[in-house]
Amino acid sequence: MNNNTHISPQQSNRKGFRWLLLSIAVVSVVISGLNTDDNQPEPYPLVYPANFGGRITIPADNPTTREGVALGRMLFYEKKLSADNTLSCGSCHEQKLAFTDGKAFSVGVDKSLTARNSMALVNLLWVRNFFWDGRSPGLEEQAVFPMTNPHEMGQSMEASVRKLQQVPVYGTMFKKAFGTANIDADKIRKALAQFERTLISADSPYDRYLAGTYQPTAQELRGMNLFMEPPAPEKGIRGANCGHCHGGPKTFKELFHNNGLDATPKDSGREAVSNQAEDKGRFRVPTLRNIALTDPYMHDGRFKTLAEVLEHYNEHIQESPTLSSFLRGTSNEKGGKTLLLNQTEKADIIAFLQMLTDKTFINNPAFSDPNKSLKQ
């Protein structure tokens, strides 16, 4: 505990012995604290920078615990949760790709494609409505959908429970996490949600810049300013106004907008959830954290590169009745209809977007497949 306390060479051996005794006492207290008689799971500390804000969601009936997270991590990488034992959550949410799969659409157990692009799993503690259309109000509820959807993992929760019951280690892990070895659907989704809550990314160069420990390059700084600023040609201010919807220390805001991909959206997006015509073609404004790793982009993965995404916002916004008013008539030229950024400015913005890549996050051993790390 007090390993860093300095003891000068002048101090007597007797003093050192007293320290030793005290250290043993402290360690014993810690150990006895871990081995509580009632076998209560230990709270999992969710650590994040203060500028992320505390508007996080943890249901009262599913506190985050070390044992629950360990179980959730096992389940996240458990292929037995799919109908043909070939897919786990981790198949379409790979850590090295910031928990996406690099595909426009993912292939399910029935070999069909998902309807939308696999979303990055990051900083989910701050998300209040899940999926591209925000239809799910919590991680516990969300987790059931990909597991049971015939075009994804395609297995009923009942079948998953039966399969896990055949694996002895799960009995032990469920008992540690929830106090009972009785495996059920509710505990599966709770454990998955607990693990997902720990997927916190807060160590990108941009985070370090905000913390005052990283000095961005001149290009990154230019890109950051363009990203944050709304253009005001009458004042000579150039900008891309990305931060309006993607701003803040998390580069995530809980918003749903039609970003002008199509004049007539093929996928009605949030309209199918809200039943309101004003929501046609509206989708989640996704987090930009690790955005350089999560191609292809948009709900249908239509853009392969960040350059294509910038071209879209700069030159190809499609007008429609539900187009976001923030994307209409925003321009760097007086009377301009589109952003009209030049090539250098687009490159600067991409340099800033690359500042959002958090290598600590994608290499964090706590988030990796536990079976793979055991083998290594």
Partner 1 sequence: MKKNKNIALLVVTLLISIPFMSLAQQAASISISGEVLTPLTLTKADLANYKSASHKSKDKDGKEHEYKGVALVEVLEKAGVTLGGKLRGENLAKVVLVQAADGYEVVYSLPELDPEFSNNTVLLVAEKDGAPLAAGEGPFRLVAPQDKKQARWIREVRSIKVVFVK
What is the smallest separation between the CB atom of 65 and partner 1, expressed in angstroms?
23
Choose one: 3-11, 108-116, 119-127, 253-261; the region binding partner 1 (CB under 8 A). Answer: 253-261
Report in angstroms how near the CB of residue 322 gets to partner 1 at its nearest. Answer: 7
Residue 283's H or E segment, with its range, is strand 283-284
CB of 264 to partner 1, least distance (A): 15
Annotated binding site: 89, 92-93, 242, 245-246
Smaller CB separation from partner 1, 23 or 136: 136
Q: Is 262 in the site for partner 1 (CB under 8 A)?
A: no
Judged by CB under 8 A, does residue 312 bind partner 1?
A: no
What phi and psi, each to the nearest 5 degrees, are found at residue 26? -65, -45
Interface residue with partner 1, options 257, 299, 312, 346 (CB under 8 A):
257
Q: What is the phi/psi pair of residue 43, to 5°?
A: -60, 140
Q: Phi and psi at residue 302, in whole multiples of 5°?
A: -75, -25
332 binds partner 1 (CB under 8 A): no
Rounded Cα distance between 175 and 85, Å, is 24
- On the 0-12 / 13-18 / 19+ scale of CB atoms within 10 A, 80 is middle
Interaction between residue 325 and partner 1 (CB under 8 A) = yes
- Determine the Cα–Cα distance for residues 296 and 196; give it in Å rounded to an integer: 22
Angle formed by the axes of helices 168-178 and 157-165, to 10°? 110
- Write out the binding residues for heme c: 89, 92-93, 242, 245-246
**CB nearer to partner 1: pick between 181 and 255:** 255
Q: Please choose, out of 73-81, 304-312, 322-330, 341-349, the segment that lies near partner 1 by the rule CB under 8 A.
A: 322-330
Distance CA 131, CA 113 (A): 16
Tell which residue, 137, 129, 141, 118, has the closest CA to residue 188: 141
Binding segment (CB under 8 A) for partner 1, from list 13-21, 302-310, 318-326, 361-369: 318-326
Q: Is the N-terminal amide bond of 230 cis, ω within 30° of 0? A: no
Comparing CA positions, the residue from 102, 80, 196, 198 lying closest to residue 147 is 80
Kindly state the helix (H) or strand (E) to which residue 23 belongs, with its residue range: helix 13-34
Least Å distance between CB 193 and partner 1? 21
CB of 29 to partner 1, least distance (A): 34
Residue 283 bridge partners (DSSP) = 257
| Residue 42 near partner 1 by CB under 8 A | no
Judged by CB under 8 A, which of 279, 300, 345, 358 binds partner 1?
279
Q: How far apart are CA 142 and CA 135, in angstroms?
A: 9
Interface with partner 1 includes 232 (CB under 8 A)? no
Task: Select the span of 172-180, 193-201, 317-325, 331-339 touching partner 1 (CB under 8 A).
Answer: 317-325
Q: Which parts of this chain interact with partner 1 (CB under 8 A)?
A: 129, 134, 253-257, 274-279, 282, 321-325, 328
